[in-house]
């Protein structure tokens, strides 16, 4: 069974450019999470969806960040405009609510903004 | 106060020893607790979860939960060099919606 699939795996972009990260959750999972990991701040929850609806976006740093989940099998996290401090690993994760809330992570998207 | 706190380490133990990793959390109403392992450059992977007070064993791993003290720990018996990684404690929030809050992680080094 395929796990959580993220793309791109690595991206280097210039400050001011738009960045779009993509995620396909595990089939059948109804919750999707976007996390950001840095050395300084660790693993931070940015936003999570339940049944395609955003439930909690309190972790989204600022208006430059936006996330969508148009259907059960696809989500995007967009940064516009990007800044060097956005450089981090962005993980998408999914879970099946009621299954003990165990979440499974994708391999991450490594973003560098120069 | 952070919601989930861990000592960042590194915790260094000799091969074959018991490694003890600790975590405290602030929300007394938290329902479920998870330990993830993360190798350098990789994504976190689930090791164990625990919901009830007491111990839960899985192979060389034992998770311990004390809700009164808001404390959860992970013991790794017969530590191997391949156990060297960062261990992340995660806590499900009171709302039990699946939202996990992670600690900063403890780096474990197992020396041959």
Tens-digit pLDDT profile for residues B14-46: 999 999 999 999 988 888 899 999 999 999 999
pLDDT in tens, B102-111: 999 999 999 9
List CB contacts (< 8 A) between B89 and chain A. none
Residue A69 scores a pLDDT above 90: yes
List CB contacts (< 8 A) between B44 and chain A. 43, 91, 105
Distance CA B69, CA B12 (A): 26
User: Would you list which residues of chain A are within 8 Å, Cβ to Cβ, of chain B?
Assistant: 31, 33, 35, 42-45, 48, 50, 55-56, 91, 95, 97, 100-108
Distance CA B84, CA B13 (A): 10
Judged by CB atoms closer than 8 Å, whether chains meet at A106 and B43 is answered as yes
3-state secondary structure at position A85: helix
Q: Which residues contact B8 (CB under 8 A, 6 or more apart)?
A: B104, B105, B106, B107
pLDDT in tens, A19-52: 999 999 999 999 999 999 999 889 999 999 999 9
For residue A2, name the pLDDT band (cuts at 50, 70, 90): confident
Of B44, B22, B46, B25, nearest to B34 by C-alpha is: B46
Burial of B61 (0-12, 13-18, 19+ CB in 10 A): middle
For residue B4, name the pLDDT band (cuts at 50, 70, 90): very high
List CB contacts (< 8 A) between A35 and chain B. 102
Residue A65 near residue A58, CB atoms below 8 Å: no
Residue A101 scores a pLDDT above 80: no
Cα–chain-centroid distance for residue A103?
13
pLDDT of residue B1: 64
């Amino acid at each position: 069974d395929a796990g959580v699939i993220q793309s791109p795996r690595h991206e280097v972009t210039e400050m001011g450019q738009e960045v779009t990260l993509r995620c396909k959750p595990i089939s059948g999972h109804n919750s999707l999470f976007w996390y950001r990991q840095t050395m300084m701040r660790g693993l931070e929850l940015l936003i999570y969806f339940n049944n395609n609806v955003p439930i909690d976006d309190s972790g989204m740093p600022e208006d430059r960040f936006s996330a969508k989940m148009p259907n059960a099998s696809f989500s995007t996290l967009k940064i516009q405009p990007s800044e060097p401090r956005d450089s981090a690993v962005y993980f998408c994760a999914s879970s099946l609510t009621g299954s003990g809330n165990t979440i499974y992570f994708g391999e991450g998207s490594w973003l560098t903004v120069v | 106060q952070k919601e989930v706190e861990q000592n960042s380490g590194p915790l260094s133990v000799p091969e074959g020893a018991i490694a003890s990793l600790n975590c405290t959390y602030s929300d007394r109403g938290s329902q479920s607790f998870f330990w993830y392992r993360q190798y350098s450059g990789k994504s976190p992977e689930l090791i164990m979860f625990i919901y009830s007070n007491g111990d839960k064993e899985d192979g060389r791993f034992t998770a311990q939960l004390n809700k009164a003290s808001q404390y959860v720990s992970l013991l790794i018996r017969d530590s191997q060099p391949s156990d060297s990684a960062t261990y992340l404690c995660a806590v499900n929030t009171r709302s039990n919606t699946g939202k996990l809050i992670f600690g900063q992680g403890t780096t474990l080094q197992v020396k041959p």
